[in-house]
Amino acid sequence: MDKKHNFNLQYFLNDASFENWAKDLNKNDVSYWNNWIQNNPEHLETVENAKSIITGINFNQDYPSNSIVEEALSKVLNKINIDIPAPTKSKKVHSLNTVLLTTAAAVLLILIGYSSLTYFTNQSTTIHKTNYGEIIDLKLSDGTSVVLNGNSEISYDKENPRLLNLKGEAYFKVKSIPSTNAKFWVITNDLKVEVLGTQFHVNTRKQKTNVVLDEGSIHLEFKNGEVAKMIPGEMVSFSNESKKLLHKRVDVETPYALWRGGTYAFNEIPLKDVMTNLELTYGIEVQYSANELMKIPISGGIPNQNLKICIAAIEKATGTRIINKGNILRVQENPIY
C-alpha cells in the first residue's frame, strides 16, 4: 500500500473509484475499497465522512414549471432590445431546448405512415438537434446508437424511438431485437429506411438523401412507392425533387461517415467556413490578420475532438499560423512559408 498519500477527505473525494464504492456502483471498486478499509481501519472515520459527503441528502427539487419559465422569459424579452426570430424560427428555439416529453398514443404513429409524420405535434416528441459543428452521441431507449452530425435533427415519439425522422446527417447502429423482430425506421423527406439490426449512414443535405450501408441489410421505400434493397458497402442516393435514383458502390472508409469518429471532412472549403464551424463548436472567436486568409481552401479530414490538435491540423493544411489567446484565435500568415 502506498503510504506516501495523505489520506484526507480530499484524497477520497477526488478518487472516482471511491465515489463508485460510496454509491455502490461498480463491483470491482466496491470490493477494492471494502478490502482497503479492512486493511486500513485507522482511516475509517475519514472514509465515513467522505462517503456521507458523496451520498449527501436527496432533495426533491421544486423548480418552477416550464410554463412559468416561458412566461417569465417573455416578460424579460419584452424588456430588452433583442431580435426575436420570425415565428418559423422561434419554433426552432423551442426544439433547441431538446427533449420535449409527454405521453401520447405511440402506436398510432406507425399506422399514420411517414407522409404525415411531418405534421405530428411536438407534444409527445423527443427532438435532438445539433448546432453547426456540434456532434452528439445518442443512445436511444431501445439500445440503438445514433451519432448526429452538426446542424441536424432527429425526432421521434418518446414511446417509440424505433421510428424516427431525420433532417441533416446521422450514423445509426441499430440494436437488433431478435425476439420480436422489431424493425427500425428512419424517415427523411425523400425516403424511408427499414432496418433490422445494422449500421448505416443517412445524409439528407442538398435536397436529396444519401444512404450508405456499413453492415447488415436494409430496405428503402421511396415516396413514389418503389422499394430497393441495399447491400453493405453500397450507397443509394435519391431526390424526391428530381426523382433520380442512384446506386453505387462506395469505399465505406471514405468521408460518408468520417465525422462520426470525430473528424470534420472538408472538400475545398474556404478557411472561413471551417473556422465558423470551430467558433460554434468551441465558443471561440476567430480573427484574421488579412482578409485573403479567409479564402484559403481546405480539403481533407480535420480532427474535431480537441481544439489544439484541430488548430495544428488547420495550420498545416493552410500554411498559416494560428495563435490561441484566451478565447480568440488569430489567423496569420506563416513567415516560414
Q: Which spans of this chain sit near other proteins (rule: CB under 8 A)?
A: 9-10, 13, 49, 52-53, 55-64, 69, 72-73, 75-77, 79-80, 82-85, 90, 92-93, 96-99, 128-131, 134, 136, 138, 279-280, 282-284, 326-327
Closest CB 59 distance from other proteins, rounded Å: 5
Residue type, 135: I
Closest CB 70 distance from other proteins, rounded Å: 8
Residue 78 CA to residue 58 CA, distance in Å, equals 37
Evaluate the CA torsion angle 305, 308, 309, 312 in order and state its sign. positive
Longest dimension (CA), the chain: 77
Nearer to other proteins, 75 or 308 (CB): 75
Measuring CA to CA, which residue among 284, 290, 282 is closest to residue 334?
290
Closest CB 170 distance from other proteins, rounded Å: 14
Strands 184-187 and 160-167, how do they pair? Answer: parallel
Nearer to other proteins, 1 or 80 (CB): 80
Q: Give the CB-side neighbour count of residue 207, counting CA atoms within 13 A.
A: 5
Nearer to other proteins, 112 or 328 (CB): 328
Measuring CA to CA, which residue among 219, 133, 124 is closest to residue 168?
133
Beta carbons of 46 and 12 less than 8 angstroms apart:
yes
For the chain, the first-to-last Cα distance in angstroms comes to: 55
63 DSSP assignment: P
Beta carbons of 201 and 257 less than 8 angstroms apart:
yes
Closest CB 23 distance from other proteins, rounded Å: 9
Closest CB 99 distance from other proteins, rounded Å: 7
Rounded to the nearest 5 degrees, what angle is found at the Cα of 132, between the Cα atoms of 131 and 133? 110
Closest CB 266 distance from other proteins, rounded Å: 22
Nearer to other proteins, 78 or 267 (CB): 78
Nearer to other proteins, 81 or 180 (CB): 81
- Specify the 3-state DSSP secondary structure of 278: helix
Closest CB 30 distance from other proteins, rounded Å: 15
Nearer to other proteins, 1 or 57 (CB): 57
Nearer to other proteins, 89 or 247 (CB): 89
Measuring CA to CA, which residue among 317, 210, 297 is closest to residue 256?
210
Measuring CA to CA, which residue among 134, 174, 179 is closest to residue 153?
134
Closest CB 83 distance from other proteins, rounded Å: 6
Nearer to other proteins, 129 or 208 (CB): 129
